[in-house]
Chains A and B, each alone.
Chain A
């Protein structure tokens, strides 16, 4: 622990590496945005430091050696998990002939007692964002731009690499949490039972949304009891949709709430100065710029770690760009005019309905001059080693790049001999000396 930089305190728990399949190539290590992976002994990828559950390593591994761990028990008891809510991406997964309402009925047909449509809450949430911006633009100390709290990878990335920016995250609960909270409240009143007896299941397009249930990170509490990937439920749901013979209406939202799976969907209903940024690399670039004080003229930025938004999540099944087209069709079909009642949402907002109960900011231990001196000394050693490295960034040493390798050497995780280039340079020098 002593070698970790002050912000890297989030442990990796949700990525599993299959040692038998891993051949020790460097692709996952190169893809990792927090430089958490190392390849040692030519075979197994090991984990050092902070994982933000973006799933890039899973995406790039050609051998399927890395998998996301789900929080959902294998023998899912649907009667016990009485409420199910789905990310709106689910509506894009079954082609253009299947309407959102069919999918919700299909879920009901699978045995879930209550099925909740999240898209309506999404639209309410976009009104709440607007209200928050209006209220806080006048205040001096609100940090701008505000950052969307919706994508858990982005929140974790900020906590790990840009803790100062945690203050930029909108202090509202993500709609998936509001849906679960309200379902628990209403159903416990209806059945006269305790809220904890109502179990909620979320159908997620990505592993990160599973993880933020057990480790909510920024918001300190989650109302969702378990999450399951779209891919885990896909076949069963497809079959159930075909067998639907109910004609109940479960879906009420318009296009604003339905489009949330698309990059730009979250901000589509907000009449403010907003940006939508998607993809991990662009997200990091923008966070770095915000950290330099840029974009303070922007009100709100919707970040999605996956390119194109949640459609690109690891647990989606349908082809990303076809799914994008279906979602765009749905948005057009249901229309982009606001369906929620503004005054009603404003009252809820004023009563604190949208606000997260508690948000957690980075706690920085007090830094002494002595500790700082040691860190500067350490960085000087890193720079000295880095100056001797070839900067070919090949990854052969087992660290993702030369700068990280230099750091690993200083921290005792790697030996300078691991670098192919400095090793061969060393032997050449020895040989030429021998000749003389």
Chain B
């Protein structure tokens, strides 16, 4: 079974390069020629997850795994983790500092947006493990 894997590193607080990993994810999916809808949903999720690492996480990575029937985004970081996952999934909930809000971030739409666009989302966070997101998109060959 064909499987293609690419790993992109994400540096916390590096706002100059922020968005680069998700751009690479988008370009890779486009180079393969996935359907536009799935490319878009995957890029939105990759971007939101990447920005979460940049803003709140520690050293992190985005691992893209491509199979003919699914695209998986594994987003890991060794930051402090999410205190209350249930609350973080609520639209508008945010722990962003005033500074981030001034930069136009921290609207509390990150995780809700990922949940909305993904076909499956698994969040593990807390303790010394940092945060691990597993975001999956299924390709069924039929319109969603």
Contacts and interface: CB of A to CB of B under 8 A. Distances in A.
A binds B: yes
Interface of A: 5-7, 161, 163-164, 288-289, 291-294, 362, 364, 366-370, 372-373, 375-380, 382-383, 407
B67 interface: yes
Contact of B34 (A292, A366, A372, A373): A372
Given A293-B113, A372-B139, A383 B26 contact: no
Nearest to B44: A293
B132 interface: no
Contact of B32 (A288, A364, A376): A376
B16 interface: no
18 contacts: A5-B31, A5-B33, A292-B22, A293-B40, A293-B44, A362-B36, A364-B35, A367-B139, A367-B141, A369-B141, A372-B32, A372-B34, A373-B1, A375-B32, A376-B66, A377-B2, A378-B32, A379-B66
A380 B2 contact: yes
A5 B56 CA distance: 38
A375 B3 CA distance: 11
A382 B2 contact: no
Given A364-B36, A383-B4, A369 B139 contact: yes
What does DSSP make chain A's interface, helix, strand, loop or mixed?
helix
Contacts of A407: 31
The 5 closest A-B pairs by CB, nearest first: A164-B36, A293-B44, A376-B2, A373-B68, A292-B43
Nearest to B116: A293
B68 A376 contact: yes
A376 B67 contact: yes
Interface in B8-43: 19, 22-23, 26, 28, 30-37, 39-40, 43
B89 to A, nearest CB: 17
A288 B109 CA distance: 20
Contacts of A288: 23, 26
Contact of A375 (B1, B33, B36, B44): B33
A367 B140 CA distance: 9
Contacts of A380: 2, 4
A161 to B, nearest CB: 8
A291 B31 contact: no
B35 A367 contact: yes
A379 B4 CA distance: 8
Contacts of B35: 364, 367
